Structure 1
Amino acid sequence: MLKTLKKYSEKRLIIYLVVFYTFIALVEFLRGFYFLYSGPQRVTDDLVGLVMVSFMDWALVLIYMCSVSLLTKYLLLKRVAWIKIIPLHIVLSIIQSYLVGFIPPLLLDYSMINANFAFLDKVTHTFLFNVTTNILLYSSMTLIIYAYFYLQQIKDQEIRNKVLENSLIKFKLKTLESQLNPHFLFNTLNSISSLIPNNPDAAQDMVADISFLLRKFLSIDDKNFITVREELEILDYYTNILKQRFQEDLVITKQVEEALLHKQIPRLLIQPIIENSIKHGFSQKNKKLRIHLSIAKNEDSIELSVENNGKKLPKYPIYSNSGIGIINIKERLQALYHGKSDFHFENMASGVRTVITIPYS
């Protein structure tokens, strides 16, 4: 029994009902006090009885309506059809009105009711006299009950939607990064393979660097965001791998505001941009590539910029919208910031600039 009450009771709803009906009962008592005890047509001389009637009415109605709230939650959870619920509430409102009608004849003798009337006749008289008001009060309190459960249902649905949205975002990010990491690993292993015959020491260094990166990837596997400092640490090992492959043909420099080192940014955000710059920056005419990374605060956003002196973008670039790394970045930014970020390419006087803008906070 206690488990059932705990399952279907709502403390906050009970408080709402108590506050609402306490106000109504107080107004009703003041009205009764004037018309029945102190008005020009006094009906009763028993003030104590009048107070007791009001108190018992207040207690009975609240106990009854709290029971109705339990029943209502049960009906909603069982998904009972409205065609069955509405007649039930009509019957319950009449029963409540009749029960309340028992209270005055028990405690008071009104001059308007013949003292020779039988007790049940007095109850019926009181019931009929107040039935409309009692049914309206029952309806008002029932509306409060249903409004409470309806708003609670909306709130619960919003919470479920938020949890589902976060789960979908995490799943989407995992899916995207499951494409990104093997792609990066495949390219690195190809580089190691090409170095083994001619430069085994360099290949060994690359294996050490890729081992660190893989451990780092595992350590941040459950994070959507990491600090700029952590991202740069990963980038250092990645660029070490690149330098083993390209030697003096590749120069990578960085300029990062120190105050931003503790800020959180999406993990593995910069590496695909560097990779994309190398992939499209080298050409027959440009065999020495310089890449410059800058991270700076711009008003209320963080701007990550990667510039290279490679070949410029064609008028209608294709690669900026293709390739696993670039597509992943765009989709990850959309999933994390919902349109509040920016990612674009632009030609410079000598080379190409890639810009990512994300909210500062």
Structure 2
Amino acid sequence: MKIFLKKYLDINLILLLSGFYALFNIVYVGKAVYMHHYSPRMPEFPWREFLLYNILLDWVVVVTYMTLIAISTKKLLNKNYSWVKIISIHTLFSILIGLIIRLIFDVFGILVGQIDPSEYELQESFHRFMAVIELNFLIYFAMIFIIYTYYYLKQVKEAEKRHSQLESQLVNTRMKMLSSQLQPHFLFNTLNSISVLADLDAGKAKDTIADLSDFLREILYSNDENEITLEKELRTLEYYINILNIRFSDHLKIRKDIDERLLNKKVPALILQPIIENSIKHGYSYEHTDLDVDISIHAEGDYLQIKVENNGEPISLSEAQLQKKGVGLANIKDRLENLYGNDFYFKMRNKESRAGVETIIRIPLK
């Protein structure tokens, strides 16, 4: 129950609705005072009953009812119902609020002795309900407008906050990639490979220089997009793989199985490279000097699945320990949470069928 209330009950919204209806009642009381004072035809006014029943009791009933409506509205928003269905539901609720108020007033009046049960007439009560039905309708939809405006502004602020976090994380990702990959030994090994190739195969040396240049350019000068097409992501990855093939020569084989129908789908920018790097980093060992890495990208229902497998050293640390040990995995999970909320899957584990490790990511198809 506590979790439900925490998820759907917004105290600030309830206070806003309470304040709005209190303001309405203040205006209503002001009107009654004015009419009683300046209208000679007004009969003697029972102020005590008016303030107790027509104002206080009415305020409590309406605020309680609208609190339940606010909770229901948030659930309706989460279910993505059509506007036709939402308006129909609220139209029904706008009628029910008048009936509920009338019923509570009648029951309360009978309990306190204000209404004699033997003289109670259902038709008269229904007439009173019909006399203010348009007022109840307008008050209800005014408060519904407040509810939807409140949730909309809240979502806008949260979206702006997530966007700011994503922009910051994307910059941090690039900087962390540079700090982890483009350390002196990375550049030294790559440049040393190019130096050796210059004497053995000048054409391949030039190709490696071009791949290194293109790889750096994609990281440093590409637009700050949080999501890019899979085609663009694979193009950036290709430069990195070409460099790895030069560095590890025949000890590394990377195979790709990509559903070409997904090339125009959106994926988080720079998501594949750190997964490949992590697979290679943890895959090599004294017992595993030759490494096969398989990259598979396919649709799984309404999700795009990225799977990276190797046949190398199994992992002995838990996923939480791996994320604390390096920045790559933790950064990937943080970015996925900011982009997709809880609508994603991310797991790194030892394979059950054979030796090796697999990393699996599922994100909604876009």
TM-score (structure 2 length as normaliser):
0.59
Kindly provide the CA deviation profile for residues 94-119 of structure 1, in whole angstroms up to 9, marking residues without a partner as x.
546899xxxxxxxxxxxxxxxxxxxx
> How far apart, CA to CA, are the structure 2 residues paired with 1:140 and 1:130?
24
The alpha-carbon deviation at position 233 of structure 1 amounts to: 0.7
Alignment counterpart, residue 258 of structure 2, candidates 256, 259, 270:
256
Residue 227 to residue 95, structure 1, CA distance change in 2 (3 Å)? same
Give 1:327's match in structure 2, choosing from 325, 330, 340.
330
- The alignment covers a number of residue pairs equal to 257
Q: Which has the larger radius of gyration?
A: 1
CA distance in 2 between counterparts of 1:251 and 1:309 reads 11
Match of 1:353 in 2: 358
Would the alpha carbon gap of residues 269 and 129 (structure 1) be closer, same or farther in structure 2, given more than 3 Å must change? same
Distance in 1 separating the partners of 2:338 and 2:207: 36
1:151 partnered with 2:144: yes
* Alignment correspondent of 2:165: 172
Q: List gaps (5 residues or longer) in structure 2.
A: 1-15, 56-127, 199-203
Q: Indicate how the Cα distance of structure 1 residues 340 and 250 shifts in structure 2: closer, same or farther if over 3 A, else same.
A: same
CA contact (8 A) 1:192 1:207 kept: no
What is the CA distance between 1:222 and its match in structure 2? Answer: 3.8
What secondary structure does 1:124 align onto?
coil
> CA RMSD of the aligned region, Å?
3.8
Q: 1:237: how far off?
A: 1.0
Q: Matched residues in 1 for 2:310 and 2:269: separation?
A: 22
Paired position in structure 2 for 1:227:
229
Alpha-carbon displacement from aligned partner over 1:126-156 (angstroms, at most 9, x marks no partner)? x549999xx9999877766654443333222
What is the distance in 2 between the residues matched to 1:267 and 1:251?
24
Partner Cα separation in structure 2 for residue 204 and residue 96 of structure 1: 93
The 3 A distance-change label for structure 1 pair 210 and 142 is farther
* Structure 1 residues 153 and 259: CA distance shift in structure 2, 3 A: same
The structure 1 residue matched to 2:153, chosen from 157, 160, 183, is 160
Paired AA for residue 234 in structure 2: L
Q: Could you say if the C-alpha distance between residues 90 and 142 of structure 1 is closer, same or farther in structure 2, counting changes exceeding 3 Å?
A: farther
Tell me the amino acid that sits aligned with residue 178 of structure 1.
V
Say if 1:229 and 1:261, in contact at 8 Å, map to a contact too: yes
Q: Secondary structure at the match of 1:290?
A: strand
Alpha-carbon spacing, 1:343–1:300, altered in 2? closer, same or farther (3 Å):
same
**Which residue in 2 is equivalent to 1:285?**
287
Match in the other structure for 1:104: none
Distance 1:95 1:145, change over 3 A: farther
Residue in 1 that maps onto 2:188: 193
* Distance (whole Å) between structure 2 residues aligned to residue 181 and residue 141 of structure 1: 59
- After superposition, the Cα gap between the structure-2 partners of 1:157 and 1:218, relative to the gap in structure 1 and judged at 3 Å, is farther
Distance 1:206 1:178 in 2: 26
* Shift, 1:342, TM fit: 1.0
How many angstroms apart in 2 are the aligned matches of 1:150 and 1:80?
8
